[in-house]
Structure 1
Amino acid sequence: MQKLAVLIDADNSSISSIGPILEEIAKYGIASVKRVYGDWSNDSLKNWRDILLLNAITPVQQFAYTVGKDATDMILIIDAMDLLYSGSLDGFCIVSSDSDFTPLASRIRESGLNVYGFGKKSTPDAFKKACDKFIFIENLITDNLASDKKIEATSTTNKNQNDINDLDKPTLNLIYKAVKDNADDSGWAYLGNVGTYISTVKPDFDTRNYGYAKLSGLIQASSLFETKLRGSQLFLRKLSFGTFVKLVHKAIANSSSNEWAEIDTVIEFIMTKEPDLSIKNYGFNNLKEAILGITHGWIEINKTKIKIGRPMPN
């Protein structure tokens, strides 16, 4: 487990978020150091006492020497550098929505340590992108009230359209690229690698923004990807009817010596090669209906037999 330092900017954090933040941090490692910075002589921070005692967080005093200046930033940064040079930590968790900590996050990452940021959705992009991962506290506060959306047993056109609207275009394109860049020759990509790729490119990506606790739930509910399990590992690839047509072509070539192949034989081949294939994702009720629905001359049909009409482009 990673040994982490949790440094909290009390001036830019809320009491209600501390418990959920510490629970989230436990996913990444052990909070070996827990400190919160502020001017504790200020009445605005008096309500922090109970949460500090409950979570064994050490308060660090910093008087506000000048009105309008955030003196706590400097003492937090000084402490962070001291902890960095001690060489006893694997990463830092910076709890603040203040972009002033952007250089600190960058400096820590230059030393090879991980930086996890926690702040509001309004946090400037500069700080979010300086972190290895940035988590919105709004998601954490409501996380206990939310649960994974359930995937419907059937798929409809209207449902697909609603699911597409859940994802903004840049995020959807990022997921597509993550799948493409991590895919094998058949187009399948391991979900773990896809998630790592997305988090690297977009540190503030969080499936909870879209109402899902995990990436697997978001992917499966989007109806934009095929999914299958290999052991306990989930794989996905971009949903494309062209992929299905190529599979039918392969089945015909495998089962026919004179071009024509029995539809039932083709179906048997597909079920053997792709046992997890959900044809309902393509809008059909069964494999035979999907095969007979292939248009544009890709196959020719003669009662119970089919043959390749023209080859699919690569």
Structure 2
Amino acid sequence: MAQPNDLLAVLIDADNVSQTRIGAVLDEIAKYGTASVKRVYGDWSKERLHGWLGAARDHVIQPVQQLENVSGKNASDIALIIDAMDLLHTGRFSGFCIVSSDSDFTRLASRIREEGVTVYGFGARTTAEAFRNACDQFTYLDLLESARQDVAPTDAAPKRMPGPKMRGDTTLVTLLRTNVSGASSDDGWANLAVVGSLMRKQQPDFDSRNWGYAKLSDLVREIGLFTIETNQGGGGVRVRDKRKA
């Protein structure tokens, strides 16, 4: 489980992500640890990236200049990958945050995970499935923006889906029931935090906010297929399939 003192390296592809999104991304990253390295890669001679320089200053992100020497070749991606491997080999970081929707980073994410280091991906809903699945956890940018009042989302954030409609989502229902069963003890009860962790491992882009719910517990209550209650004396929330009652 992520700890507040975990050191994270945040690597941002400026060609692929708007600077207007970075505040929301950094707010989310703060939940997983301390962003001790923050770098954004791009060719700052390009007019369309000029807004990034102000955002980098405001959020204390180091801009890394990478001239595009040959048209059509993304030198920034290569620079980001080289820096990621250099940082990985220091052994200092518990996690890497790759902020991009570019599937070219799929192998980078896989390589970092081979070292037992967590990879958090952040990108658009158009991000290739291969890159999403190469991360331990992948979060869609529009979900983060919807929680901030100072940002006008560029993508429509999901609206809260009612229980009957969620019950018709066979993929969601199967994922929930399978993992509640897998995490349950002999009495059928499972710790909801463990269930959520298992679901992320199977589907890295799983997030209750995709259905409009800030918390997994809110989604589980609304879907109506499970009994959910707070553990007596602490210990979080537990859940049980109503069919097992």
Mark yes or no: TM-score above 0.5: yes
User: SS where residue 221 of structure 2 aligns?
Assistant: helix
Matches of 2:10 and 2:95 in 1, distance apart?
Answer: 9
Unaligned runs of 5+ residues in structure 2 are 150-156
Is 1:90–2:94 an aligned residue pair? yes
Using the TM superposition, give the Cα deviation of residue 172 of structure 1 relative to its aligned residue in structure 2, in angstroms: 1.7
In the alignment, what sits opposite 1:102?
A: 106
Is 1:76–2:80 an aligned residue pair? yes
In the alignment, what sits opposite 1:192?
A: 193
Unaligned runs of 5+ residues in structure 1 are 150-158, 244-314
In the alignment, what sits opposite 2:181?
A: 180
Matches of 2:141 and 2:29 in 1, distance apart?
Answer: 12
For 1:194, the aligned partner's letter is V
Is 1:234–2:216 an aligned residue pair? no
Using the TM superposition, give the Cα deviation of residue 228 of structure 1 relative to its aligned residue in structure 2, in angstroms: 1.7
Aligned residue pairs total 231
In the alignment, what sits opposite 1:284?
A: none
For 2:49, the aligned partner's letter is L
Q: Residue 16 of structure 1 contacts residue 141 of structure 1 at CA under 8 Å; is this kept in 2? A: no
For 2:185, the aligned partner's letter is D
The equivalences for 1:91-130 within 5 A come to 91-130=95-134
Matches of 1:98 and 1:135 in 2, distance apart?
Answer: 14
User: SS where residue 86 of structure 1 aligns?
Assistant: coil
For 2:88, the aligned partner's letter is L
Using the TM superposition, give the Cα deviation of residue 171 of structure 1 relative to its aligned residue in structure 2, in angstroms: 2.1
CA distance change for structure 1 residues 228 and 104 in 2, over 3 Å: closer, same or farther?
same
Is 1:63–2:64 an aligned residue pair? no
Using the TM superposition, give the Cα deviation of residue 14 of structure 1 relative to its aligned residue in structure 2, in angstroms: 1.0
Matches of 1:182 and 1:82 in 2, distance apart?
Answer: 38
Q: Residue 180 of structure 2 contacts residue 239 of structure 2 at CA under 8 Å; is this kept in 1? A: yes
User: SS where residue 84 of structure 2 aligns?
Assistant: helix
In the alignment, what sits opposite 1:48?
A: 52
Query: For 2:146, which of 133, 142, 148 is the aligned residue?
Result: 142
Matches of 1:161 and 1:124 in 2, distance apart?
Answer: 30
- Report % sequence identity: 49
User: SS where residue 80 of structure 2 aligns?
Assistant: helix
Matches of 2:164 and 2:120 in 1, distance apart?
Answer: 34
Greater relative contact order (Cα < 8 A, sep 6+): 2
Task: Tell me the TM-score normalised to structure 1 length.
Answer: 0.71
Alpha-carbon deviations, 1:6-57, whole Å to 9, x = none?
0000001111110000000000000000000000011010111221111000
User: SS where residue 121 of structure 2 aligns?
Assistant: strand
Q: Residue 11 of structure 1 contacts residue 38 of structure 1 at CA under 8 Å; is this kept in 2? A: yes
Matches of 1:71 and 1:184 in 2, distance apart?
Answer: 51
Q: Residue 38 of structure 2 contacts residue 62 of structure 2 at CA under 8 Å; is this kept in 1? A: yes
In the alignment, what sits opposite 1:202?
A: 203
Is 1:215–2:219 an aligned residue pair? no
Q: Residue 96 of structure 2 contacts residue 120 of structure 2 at CA under 8 Å; is this kept in 1? A: yes
Q: Residue 6 of structure 1 contacts residue 35 of structure 1 at CA under 8 Å; is this kept in 2? A: yes
- Say what the alpha-carbon RMSD is for the aligned residues: 1.8
Q: Residue 97 of structure 1 contacts residue 123 of structure 1 at CA under 8 Å; is this kept in 2? A: yes
User: SS where residue 161 of structure 1 aligns?
Assistant: helix
Matches of 1:214 and 1:160 in 2, distance apart?
Answer: 15
Q: Residue 9 of structure 1 contacts residue 96 of structure 1 at CA under 8 Å; is this kept in 2? A: yes
Q: Residue 8 of structure 1 contacts residue 35 of structure 1 at CA under 8 Å; is this kept in 2? A: yes
Matches of 1:134 and 1:161 in 2, distance apart?
Answer: 27
Using the TM superposition, give the Cα deviation of residue 160 of structure 1 relative to its aligned residue in structure 2, in angstroms: 4.8
Q: Residue 166 of structure 2 contacts residue 172 of structure 2 at CA under 8 Å; is this kept in 1? A: no
CA distance change for structure 1 residues 163 and 129 in 2, over 3 Å: closer, same or farther?
closer
Q: Residue 163 of structure 1 contacts residue 223 of structure 1 at CA under 8 Å; is this kept in 2? A: no
Query: For 1:26, which of 16, 27, 30 is the aligned residue?
Result: 30
Matches of 1:229 and 1:88 in 2, distance apart?
Answer: 37
User: SS where residue 15 of structure 2 aligns?
Assistant: helix
CA distance change for structure 1 residues 221 and 59 in 2, over 3 Å: closer, same or farther?
same
Matches of 2:192 and 2:54 in 1, distance apart?
Answer: 41
Q: Residue 200 of structure 2 contacts residue 206 of structure 2 at CA under 8 Å; is this kept in 1? A: yes
Look at both structures and tell me which one has the larger radius of gyration over its CA atoms.
Answer: 1
Using the TM superposition, give the Cα deviation of residue 132 of structure 1 relative to its aligned residue in structure 2, in angstroms: 0.6
